[in-house]
């Protein structure tokens, strides 16, 4: 799918700058596909006028910045709408689950994952998905599965399997951690990063060879992209999140680990993100110095565009307005 390079710095200047990851956008003729997928997903997964509905709408309220046009700028037109719908679904799910206690949220994720097995949704302690108003999500997820499988049987089955596992793994980490090193694997997991990588590959019709997949540096590159995305979200969303009853964010972890103030933790987090981007670029250079397939080269570029677009959106979206060190 044709895509267009965009400005690679992250305005406004006070938002900080995480240079190094390219930003591109889909061709204008596919933007309506994205808009339709977003609004249909919000309509099917939320109650109009509810707080969750308002949060979903605010994700896309800055019309000059199209989150999914940047994240999926390399995806095939035939799969773009589904890819967008699945990520928007996961974003809505985040907004819903963060209002529940961790163990209850874990139960609900388990129930949702069973929808992908075509099994009846069981009751746990007399409480089903419907009790928590998540019936809309259950039906939407089942619909997504059928559409994925209609496009590609084996790749689609693999994608559904990874999504099922990602839902089960959510909320599986400890309620608190002591260090950033302990925090990062759980942050990447709760970002659904393995599924996002699989979704991107599926949407781009990428078919990595066995030789490609066995390269340890590819796994390091993928993980580095997940760490960058997770920490960038923590950095820009902290002011919004810190008033919530339950949050997961690197800022309080760093405050506790190094006995520093909130402002110092934000400044340190910015430095850590910059170092992570340099590390990711090192992995990329190492991969490109070896013999890799054309599909693998496209996949690496696709992951960079996905993360670069996400950083750009986090820096300018209306949801995350605050001052930055």
- pLDDT confidence of residue 118: 59
Nearest to 111 by CA among 84, 137, 149, 143: 137
**CB of 192 within 8 A of CB of 170?**
yes
**CB of 121 within 8 A of CB of 142?**
no
In which band, very low, low, confident or very high, does the pLDDT at 258 lie, cut at 50, 70 and 90?
very high
Burial 237-264 (b: 16+ CB within 10 A, else e): bbeebeeeeeebbbbbbbbebeeeeeee
pLDDT at residue 251 tops 90 = yes
246 versus 93: which is more confidently predicted? Answer: 93
Q: Exposed (0-12), middle (13-18) or buried (19+): which is 323, by Cβ within 10 Å?
A: exposed
Cα separations in angstroms, 109 against 63, 71, 99: 32, 25, 13
**CB of 255 within 8 A of CB of 261?**
yes
- pLDDT confidence of residue 212: 84
**Mean pLDDT in residue range 249-262:** 96
Cα separations in angstroms, 299 against 72, 73, 89, 98, 305: 12, 12, 23, 32, 10
Cα separations in angstroms, 123 against 35, 98, 113, 163: 35, 21, 14, 21
Best-predicted range by mean pLDDT among 28-32, 45-49, 80-84, 127-131? 80-84
Share of the chain above pLDDT 90, in %: 58
pLDDT at residue 91 tops 80 = yes
Q: How far apart are CA 321 and CA 325, in angstroms?
A: 13
pLDDT digit string, tens, across residues 161-180: 999 999 999 887 787 899 99
**CB of 108 within 8 A of CB of 115?**
no
Nearest to 55 by CA among 318, 316, 238, 231: 318
pLDDT digit string, tens, across residues 35-53: 999 999 999 999 999 999 9
pLDDT digit string, tens, across residues 97-143: 887 888 888 888 988 888 887 555 444 444 444 444 578 898 899 99
Q: By mean pLDDT, which of 109-123, 227-241, 255-269 is the weakest?
A: 109-123
Q: Any idea what DSSP says for residue 235?
A: H
Cα separations in angstroms, 86 against 40, 111, 165, 232, 309: 11, 17, 15, 21, 17
Whether the CA torsion 41, 200, 233, 10 is positive or negative: it is negative
Q: How far apart are CA 247 and CA 258, in angstroms?
A: 19
Q: By mean pLDDT, which of 49-58, 80-89, 116-125, 202-211 is the weakest?
A: 116-125
- pLDDT confidence of residue 8: 36
End-to-end Cα spacing for the chain: 38
- pLDDT confidence of residue 115: 86
Q: Any idea what DSSP says for residue 124?
A: B
Q: How far apart are CA 127 and CA 16, in angstroms?
A: 45
**Mean pLDDT in residue range 173-196:** 92
Share of the chain above pLDDT 70, in %: 86
Mean pLDDT estimate for the chain:
86
- pLDDT confidence of residue 269: 96
- pLDDT confidence of residue 172: 79
pLDDT at residue 158 tops 80 = yes
pLDDT at residue 23 tops 50 = yes
pLDDT at residue 1 tops 80 = no
Domain 3-320 = CATH 1.10.600.10 = yes
The domain limits of the chain are 3-320
- pLDDT confidence of residue 130: 47
């Amino acid at each position: 799918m044709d895509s267009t390079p965009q400005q690679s710095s992250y305005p406004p200047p006070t938002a900080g700058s995480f240079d190094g990851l390219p930003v591109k956008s889909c061709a204008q003729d596919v933007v309506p596909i994205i808009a339709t997928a977003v609004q249909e997903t919000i309509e099917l997964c939320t109650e109009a006028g509810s707080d969750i509905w308002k949060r979903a709408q605010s994700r896309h309220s800055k019309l000059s910045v199209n989150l999914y046009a940047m994240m999926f700028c390399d995806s095939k037109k035939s799969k773009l709408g589904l890819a967008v719908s699945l990520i928007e679904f996961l974003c809505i799910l985040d907004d819903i689950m963060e209002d529940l206690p961790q163990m209850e949220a874990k139960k609900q994720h388990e129930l949702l994952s069973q929808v992908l097995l075509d099994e009846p949704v069981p009751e746990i302690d007399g409480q089903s998905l419907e009790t928590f108003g998540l019936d809309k999500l259950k039906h939407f997820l089942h619909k997504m599965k059928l559409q994925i499988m209609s496009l590609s049987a084996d790749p689609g089955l693999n994608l559904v399997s990874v999504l099922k596992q990602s839902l089960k793994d959510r909320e599986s980490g400890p309620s608190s951690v002591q260090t950033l090193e302990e925090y990062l694997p759980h942050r990447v997991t709760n970002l659904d990063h393995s599924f996002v990588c699989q979704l991107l590959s599926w949407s781009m019709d990428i078919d990595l060879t066995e030789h490609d997949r066995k390269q340890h540096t590819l796994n390091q590159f993928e993980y580095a992209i997940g760490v960058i995305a997770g920490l960038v979200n923590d950095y820009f969303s902290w002011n919004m999140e810190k008033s919530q009853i339950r949050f997961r964010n690197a800022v309080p972890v760093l405050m506790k680990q190094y006995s520093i103030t909130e402002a110092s933790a934000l400044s340190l987090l910015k430095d850590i993100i910059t170092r992570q981007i340099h590390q990711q670029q090192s992995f990329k250079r190492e991969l490109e110095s070896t013999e890799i397939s054309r599909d693998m080269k496209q996949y690496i570029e696709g992951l960079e565009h996905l993360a670069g677009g996400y950083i750009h959106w986090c820096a300018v979206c209306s949801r995350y307005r605050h001052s930055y060190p």
